[in-house]
Amino acid sequence: MESSTMTKEKRETRVLVLYTGGTIGMKKMDGGYQPKTGFLQSQIKRLPMLYDEEYTKVDLIERSTAARCENINNAENTPLLEELAMPISSHGVRVLYYIKEYNPIKDSSNMTISDWIEIALDIKDNYKNYDGFVVIHGTDTMAYSVSALSFMLENLGKSVVFTGSQVPIYEQRNDGRDNLLGALVIAGHYVIPEVTLYFAGSLYRGNRSTKVSAGSFDAFDSPNLPPLVTMKVKIEVQWDAIFRSNNGSKFSVHTNMNPNIGLLRIFPGITAETVRAFLKPPMLGVVLQTYGCGNAPNNRDDLITEIKKATRRDVLIINCTQCLHGPVVDQYATGKVLMDAGVIPGSDMTPEAALTKLSYVLGKTELSFNQKQELIRNNIRGELTVAHTKEQFSLKDNSFIAAVASSLQISSSKEMKYIRQALLPVLMSCATSAGNVKTLEELLNQGADVNATTDYDGRTALHIACVEGNSEAVKFLLQHGASTQVRDRFKSSPLDDAIKFRHKELVKTLRKAGAQLMKTSMESAVELCRLAAKNRVEDLLVWQLAGVDLNACDYDKRTPLHVAVCRNNAETVAFLLEHGVNPYLRDVFG
Ligand code: ASN
């Protein structure tokens, strides 16, 4: 599996399914729909699109032994799970999956923070052994769990897809079958290193999603971010929009979630007593759901006083709108009054994301209050859109280039594609001249063309690296397909630049990579004779390393040796003779 395409060679992928509960596996009983142990797996085995019975029968013993040998499916705390095989997909991939049923399986209304921790630890314990993860979960609190897990799983590098259904999978008309199928296909085919939610044909970023319907199969929406994947005739993945929070560190799990959090929805006439009671200790983090784009009454000193008292006690308060769409902004006096009271604007975060982020951030006990506030304000898992900052950046600054480079990956809008096309070459040029190979690598991973011209003069990153004499960048670019034969507007190749700036080692590297001098022998002769006249032995050496013929002659058939002798330039004469120049060549004058 790859991040942007599916690998052709790899035919089998393994997905661990954590079945926590929810309607999908419930059965109608006397007391209404209830979870029933073992029921979901038995129903799945009746569905050919989810279970390839023939394949399972063949070589069953052989394959399960192989699985054990590969240390698949036997992580600590995980009993040996039955291998279920999907039929081979149209992409030539067979997804093998293993269902770990929780004990007890729950209606998601009964979920607590400890359930989030259990899911996180299961992913951690099995991380190495599977290509992706599916979490089957009830829909009622799925948006909370998926948001919480998006924060708890740090430096995630694999797909984690939550799904469930509105109608149990055993019923004739149900959405469970397609939802589970879609989630398994995504987790088994694509590396989308986020915690996501798949429902009714769309894959949403988990911390952007919310349950919007109790009666429709389209139960979820992501009001402020379009889906990351849409299942149509073809599977459309918005690779530009994938948020890659992995900063190169090892995958880890943060389980210290603080329970002293709450959601407070303001309403006309809310009393100061209610607010005071809600904010009193042990409360440490509150999502304040305000009107419109983040407004609260600015004629209610009593309310604001209570909020101020709480923020002064280091209670983290986030301002989120009661509206489904749109962010909190600071346009109105009624919004500013909250900012002045120390409330943090939550941009376009869903209340579920804001609440679970508070629990996560408050669990980072090593951080100061200011650092926690900063983390809340920042976009750490793609959960919020960061408003434009007025800070000045410089394209000469490595960290800025790196920041822009990574932020290009988290884009969500269509225009980002065009911005990226325009910016990537510029960033390539900046990263090259700053000698920042790591950023170059990141840019290439994001689709930058290694041979793109980075400015109006048609110069490529390799030209720039050759001028700068940055051998690490030159080697990196050559290894990644940079052409040595490109010429800029003034007909200079990267080799010409390396010669001009006397970077001998680079000249050798370029020659090894197949670089050819693109000068006529007359052009070379004119240049060599000029250097010989000036006794510039160092330059002549660079030209010689570049593969020039030191016997090249000008219009009068005069060679650099003729010129050096006439000028009595002994070092040049010695150099030329040492390098095999023919002393018997005659010019037109005999
Ligand atoms: N009450 C169920 C649950 O959240 C609803 C569902 O899954 N559709 O577990």
Residue 312, φ and ψ in degrees, nearest 5: -65, -25
Q: What is the Å distance from ligand 1's center to 480 Cα?
A: 50
Could you give the CA distance from residue 86 to residue 581 in angstroms, rounded to a whole number?
72
Q: Which atom of ligand 1 is nearest to the CA of 21?
A: 9
- State the closest ligand 1 atom to the C-alpha of 35, by its place in the atom list counted from 1: 9
Q: Which residue has the least CA distance to atom 7 on ligand 1? A: 138
3-class DSSP assignment, residue 259: coil
Is residue 69 within 8 Å of 58, Cβ to Cβ?
no
Q: CA 43 to CA 35: how far, in whole Å?
A: 13
| Contact yes or no for 294/328 (Cβ under 8 A) | yes
Q: What is the whole-number distance in angstroms between the Cα of residue 21 and the centre of ligand 1?
A: 8
CA of 211 to the centre of ligand 1 (A): 11
Instruction: Please state the atom number of ligand 1 nearest to the C-alpha of residue 165.
Output: 8
| DSSP-derived 3-state class of residue 445 | helix
Residues 169-187, buried b or exposed e (16+ Cβ, 10 A)?
bbbeebbbbbbbbbbbbbb
Within 154-300, where are the H helices?
176-189, 272-279
DSSP state of 207: G
The atom number, within ligand 1, closest to the CA of 141 reads: 4
Q: How far apart are the C-alpha atoms of 341 and 354, rounded to whole Å?
A: 19
pLDDT at 414: 55
Candidate of 34, 107, 144, 220 to mutate for ligand 1, largest count of ligand atoms within 8 Å of Cβ: 107
| 350 CA to centre of ligand 1 in angstroms | 20
How far away, in angstroms, is 107 Cα from ligand 1 center? 6
DSSP 133-192: EEEE--STTHHHHHHHHHHHEET--SEEEEE--SS-TTSSS-SHHHHHHHHHHHHHH---
- Give residue ranges with CB within 6 A of ligand 1: 21-23, 107-109, 138-140, 164, 166
- Rounded distance between C-alpha atoms, residue 122 and residue 160, angstroms: 12
- State the chain's maximal CA–CA distance in angstroms: 116
Q: What's the pLDDT score for residue 557?
A: 80
Say if residue 504 is exposed, middle or buried (CB neighbours under 10 Å; 0-12, 13-18, 19+).
Answer: middle
Residue 527 burial (CB count, 10 A): 18
Q: How many whole angstroms from 41 Cα to the centroid of ligand 1?
A: 18
- Ligand 1 probe mutation, 110, 139, 179, most atoms within 8 A of CB: 139
Burial of 54 from C-beta contacts in 10 A (0-12 / 13-18 / 19+):
exposed
**What's the rounded Cα separation, in Å, for the pair 119 and 114?**
9
| Separation of CA 110 and ligand 1 centre (Å) | 10
**Cα Rg, the chain, nearest whole Å:** 32
Measured in angstroms, how far is the CA atom of residue 106 from the centroid of ligand 1?
9
Task: Give the ligand 1 atom nearest the CA of 166.
Answer: 8
Name residues whose C-beta falls within 8 Å of residue 96's C-beta, 6 or more positions apart in sequence.
12, 13, 14, 15, 83, 84, 85, 86
DSSP letter at 547 equals T
Atom of ligand 1 nearest to the CA of 140: 4
Question: How many CB atoms within 10 Å of residue 396?
Answer: 10
For residue range 375-433, list pLDDT tens digits in order. Answer: 999 999 999 987 654 444 455 555 666 666 666 654 455 556 666 777 888 889 889 98
Sheet strands side by side (includes 159-163): 83-85, 94-106, 12-21, 132-136, 159-163, 195-199, 202-205, 229-231, 235-237
Q: What's the pLDDT at 11?
A: 83
Residue in 279, 284, 460 with CA at minimum distance from that of residue 365:
284
With a cut of 50, which residues of the chain have pLDDT below it?
2-9, 68-69, 71, 389-393, 410-411
CA gap 240, 143 in Å, rounded? 23
**Whole-structure pTM over 0.95, yes or no?**
no
CB within 8 Å of 401: residues ≥ 6 apart? 395, 427, 430, 431, 434, 436, 439
From the CA of 214, how far away is ligand 1's center (Å)? 9
Tally of helices (H runs) and strands (E runs) in the chain = 22, 19
Angle formed by the axes of helices 351-362 and 369-377, to 10°? 150
pLDDT for res 460: 93
Q: Mark whether 334 is an active-site residue.
A: no
d(CA 207, CA 223): 11
Report which protein residue has its CA nearest ligand 1's atom 8. 166
For residue 527, the one-letter residue type is E
d(C-alpha 541, C-alpha 37), whole Å:
80
Q: Which atom of ligand 1 is nearest to the CA of 24?
A: 7
How crowded is the C-beta side of 256, counted as CA atoms within 13 Å? 6
* Ligand 1 atom 3: residue of nearest CA: 138
Exactly one of 13, 23, 311, 454 is catalytic; which is it?
23
